[in-house]
Amino acid sequence: MQYQFTLSELMEKMAPQYEKDKILIRECMVGLTLYAAQHAANDPSSPKIAEMRSLVEQLAGYWGLDKGSEEKLQNDFLRPFDNVIGFVPAGASLEDEIGKHRAATVRGLHCYGMEMVFCQGIDCRDDILAMRDLMNEIARAWDFESQPLDDMARKLEAEVKRLDMDAQVNKQLAEYAASEDFKWDCAALKNDYECRKLTPPDDAAVRAEVLKSAKETIRFRLECEANGHQFVDHTDGENGRGTVVCEQCGDSWNYQW
């Protein structure tokens, strides 16, 4: 079984799913238009109308549905949106149309959120959470709350937590790499090779090995902190001092009285 692909091979394999995603996003945009129309029917000045219009424009651009053309964007997406909003009767019920698109609407928002996770990462953290919040908001408004929806929302939350963790790890790793401790640890590793009668690797390889170990340690400690340390207090009453140590990750601090 082949697990490695060239970029062109990978793009070729992803193309069918990408086309399916674009179909889903188009249907999601119809749902967002209906959601805006629902607000317009009750309150023509609702800020949700502009919010949904902006999101429709954003989705068209992100998924290349507008082909990079302002004219196509206006003709295919924004003008139809404006026409629906402009002609929806006051107090109109859109339940029949909403029923056809509600599943695709929340699935499309989830799809967009996951795309931002993998393509933009931590830079789109707030936008990813905004997709989660909008999914839940629309589901409540359309009486579409369900276990699959909860699972999709939790998936986005979990990915944001992972992105946050990665950012913290990278920040602390960069600080460590600029510290004297890093230099000492590199020297200690080279000394360890020599003590074992082994030829030390070159400096770049030593630094890479130390950073790899440090990254694993930092991640483990941060995950332990997030999940709750298992601290044990080792008290030396005779000398008026003690050490608190986490039995899981080894994080510790000293105290005295």
Please report the pLDDT score of residue 10 as a whole number.
Answer: 44
Q: Note whether 62 and 112 are within 8 A (CB).
A: yes
DSSP 8-state assignment for residue 88:
P
Per residue in 13-53, pLDDT (tens digit) is: 555 676 888 999 999 999 999 999 999 999 999 999 999 99
Q: Note whether 156 and 144 are within 8 A (CB).
A: no
Give the phi and the psi of residue 46 in degrees, each rounded to 5: -60, 130
Return the number of other C-beta atoms located less than 10 Å from residue 106's C-beta: 27
Mean predicted confidence (pLDDT) in 91-95: 84
Rg (the chain; Cα; Å): 27
Per-chain mean pLDDT for the chain: 88
Mean predicted confidence (pLDDT) in 92-118: 92
Residue 238 clears pLDDT 80, i.e. is over it:
no
Of the two residues 255 and 37, the one the predictor is more confident about is 37
> Percent of the chain having pLDDT more than 70?
91
- CA dist 182 to 99, 185, 186, 207, 251, Å? 59, 5, 6, 8, 18
Please report the pLDDT score of residue 113 as a whole number.
Answer: 96
Please report the pLDDT score of residue 210 as a whole number.
Answer: 94
Please report the pLDDT score of residue 257 as a whole number.
Answer: 58
Mean predicted confidence (pLDDT) in 76-92: 92
Per residue in 174-231, pLDDT (tens digit) is: 999 999 999 999 999 999 999 998 888 999 999 999 999 999 988 988 888 888 877 7
Please report the pLDDT score of residue 1 as a whole number.
Answer: 45
Residues contacting 96, CB < 8 A, separation 6+:
none
Residue 247 clears pLDDT 80, i.e. is over it:
no
Please report the pLDDT score of residue 6 as a whole number.
Answer: 60
Residue 248 clears pLDDT 70, i.e. is over it:
yes
| 28-66 as b/e: b if 16+ CB within 10 A | bbbbbbbbbbbbbbeeeebebbebbbebbbebbeebebb
The residue length of the chain stands at: 257
> Percent of the chain having pLDDT more than 90?
63
